[in-house]
C-alpha cells in the first residue's frame, strides 16, 4: 500500500462536520455577494472548518498492553488524581495524563486500549479553559470506564473547553472496542484525561506532542519507570 501526495493533504471528514462546512460555505456565498474580499475570508474559514473536522486514518500499534493517546494535542498535565466519581473507579488517586487539543488539532477521539465499556457518564458543567487543572472537575465532561481483557480498569474523560459546546460520544456500555478505535469527538477546542490502571507508569512527558491512536502513552506489559523529558 502506497501513500499518495494528495492523501497527505486531503483527509476524510467526520460526518459531524458536514453541516458546519455547509453553513460556512453558505455564509461565504453571501459574503461574495456583499464584497468579494469578504468572500475570500469566508473561503479560508470554510477550509479551516473542514480541516477541524478531519478524520484521518491512523496506524495503531497492536502489541498487547500498549495504551495509545486518545487525542491529538499536547500533554498539559501529568499527576496523580482521583477519577470522576461517576466512573466508579474508586476514590484512590490514579495517574492522570491530560492531552490538550487546540482548535487546530484533529478532534476525533480514540480508545487508548482495547476493552469493554463499563460506564458512559455525561456531566454538565462550566466551559473554562481546558488547559486549566480545575477543568477536570468543573467543566462539562463525558467519561468512559473501560475494563481490559486481563480485568484491569482505566478511565478516559472528554472535557469541553473554552469554546467547545458539544461533546459527542458514540459508544454505549457493554460495547467491546479495539485499541485506537474511534469513540467520539469534541467540537472546537477541548481536552482528554486518561486515568491509567494502578501501577502503570506513563511513557510521555509534559509538553510532548501526541497523535491519537498512534503515540504510546503507557505499556501495561512493562515495568519501565516513568519517563523524564526536557525541551530542546
Please return the burial class of 3, using the count of CB atoms within 10 Å of its CB with bins 0-12, 13-18 and 19+: exposed
Q: Give 28-71 as a DSSP string.
A: HHHHHHH-HHHHHHHHHHHHHHHHHTB--------STTEEE-SS
Q: At what angle do helices 36-52 and 18-34 cross, to 10 degrees?
A: 170
How far is residue 79's CA from residue 65's CA, in Å, rounded to a whole number?
Answer: 21
Neighbours of 26 (CB within 10 A): 12
- Give the Å distances, CA to CA, from 79 to 38, 88, 89, 94, 193: 46, 20, 17, 8, 11
- To the query of whether residue 69 is one of the catalytic residues in this protein, the response is no
Q: Can you give the length of the chain in residues? A: 232
Catalytic: which of 7, 69, 190, 222? Answer: 190
Backbone φ and ψ for 180, nearest 5 degrees, come out as 85, 0
Quick one: the chain helix, strand, coil %, rounded to 5?
Answer: 20, 30, 50
Q: Which residues pair with 67 in a beta bridge?
A: 218
As annotated, the active-site residues are: 190
Amino acid at each position: 500500500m502506497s501513500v499518495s501526495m494528495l492523501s497527505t493533504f486531503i483527509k476524510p471528514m467526520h460526518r459531524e462536520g458536514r453541516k458546519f462546512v455547509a453553513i460556512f460555505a453558505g455564509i461565504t456565498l453571501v459574503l461574495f455577494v456583499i464584497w468579494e474580499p469578504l468572500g475570500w475570508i469566508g473561503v479560508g474559514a470554510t477550509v479551516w472548518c473542514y480541516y477541524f473536522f478531519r478524520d484521518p486514518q491512523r496506524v495503531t500499534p497492536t502489541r498487547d498492553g500498549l495504551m495509545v493517546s486518545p487525542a491529538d494535542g499536547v500533554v498539559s498535565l501529568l499527576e496523580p488524581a482521583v477519577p470522576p466519581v461517576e466512573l466508579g473507579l474508586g476514590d484512590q488517586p490514579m495517574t492522570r495524563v491530560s492531552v490538550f487539543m487546540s482548535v487546530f488539532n484533529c478532534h476525533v477521539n480514540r480508545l487508548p486500549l482495547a476493552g469493554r465499556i463499563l460506564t458512559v457518564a455525561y456531566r454538565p458543567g462550566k466551559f473554562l479553559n481546558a488547559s486549566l487543572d480545575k477543568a477536570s472537575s468543573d467543566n462539562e465532561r463525558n467519561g468512559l470506564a473501560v475494563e481490559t481483557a486481563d480485568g484491569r480498569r482505566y478511565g478516559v474523560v472528554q472535557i469541553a473547553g473554552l469554546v467547545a459546546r458539544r461533546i459527542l460520544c458514540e459508544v454505549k456500555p457493554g460495547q467491546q472496542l479495539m485499541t485506537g478505535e474511534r469513540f467520539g469527538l469534541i467540537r472546537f477546542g477541548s481536552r482528554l484525561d486518561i486515568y491509567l490502571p494502578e501501577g502503570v507508569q506513563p511513557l510521555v512527558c509534559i509538553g510532548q506532542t501526541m497523535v491519537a491512536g498512534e503515540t504510546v502513552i503507557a505499556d501495561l506489559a512493562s515495568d519501565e519507570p516513568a519517563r523524564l523529558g526536557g525541551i530542546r
